[in-house]
Amino acid sequence: MSPELLLPLLFGTAFIAGLVDSIAGGGGLITVPVLIGIGLPPQIALGTNKLQASFGSGSAMLHFVRAGTIKLSDCWNGIIWTAIGAALGVGAVQLLDATFLRQLIPWLLAAIAIYTLLSPRLGAEDSHASMNPGTFYLLCGLSIGFYDGFFGPGTGSFWTMALMMLLGFSMMRATATTKAMNFTSNFVALIFFLSVGQVRFVEGIVMGAGQFLGARVGSKLVIKRGTAFIRPVFITMVLALVGRLIYQNFK
């Protein structure tokens, strides 16, 4: 494909992915197959994806902060532990086999989708936390951050569900907080991919521009329309991710 067609395609793809990801996560479902489809080797596709995804998660995070949906001062524990977890996960990629996670994660995501469907009031509004925030961010930051650095699919879904169930966040507040954690683990993984030369800058920056704009539109929709809007998109993206992972496991 000629650059005249390729770069607009990448920009448009990333715009859609950024919009969807800022609402419910799962943008990688759209971008990674496209990057591999244009001929990038898998590791370079993943590295380039982390570059463009950092623009999207960063854009959504900034918009949520400016709108007052979240305060970064409330998230620092999570950001620090997520960064540590992601760094450990990136390191573990070189040593461990991800086969077990590939087989387990679709079923965990399916459980999230079913629980959300059967709990119509989940995340409708802030409720009482069942865990101390410091303990929560230590445990979830290390574990989900590690998972994102090591494997990745469904990270946003795990964060959103954990924040609603354990800290009592509304779905809108959980979605906004998730973007801060996503940006952290994306950026840590990006540093690793940069250090080993597995990032394509032209494609990544063009897609990053699309992600930035798409995430801005999506985060505005989240703030304007709230949980009633996020919920069906969240369930749809979780189920789409389940389907893709099961397909990859059995093809």
Domain interval for residue 207: 3-250
pLDDT at 212: 97
* Type of residue numbered 113: A
| Total tally of structural domains belonging to the chain | 1
241-251 pLDDT tens trace: 889 888 887 76
Q: For the segment 175-211, what is each residue's pLDDT rounded down to a tens digit?
A: 999 999 999 999 999 999 999 999 999 999 999 999 9
Q: Does position 2 have pLDDT exceeding 70, yes or no?
A: no
Q: How far is CA 90 from CA 30, 84, 146, 196, in A?
A: 22, 10, 7, 12
Full-prediction pTM beyond 0.85? yes
Per-residue pLDDT band for 1 (boundaries 50, 70, 90) equals low
Task: Give me the percent of the chain exceeding a pLDDT of 90.
Answer: 63
pLDDT of residue 224 exceeding 70, the answer is yes
> In terms of Cα–Cα distance, which of 104, 100, 98, 188 is closest to 145?
188
CA separation for the pair 220, 218 (Å, rounded): 5
In this model, does residue 98 exceed pLDDT 80? no
Quickly state the pLDDT bin for 122 (edges 50, 70, 90).
Answer: confident
The amino acid occupying position 147 is: Y
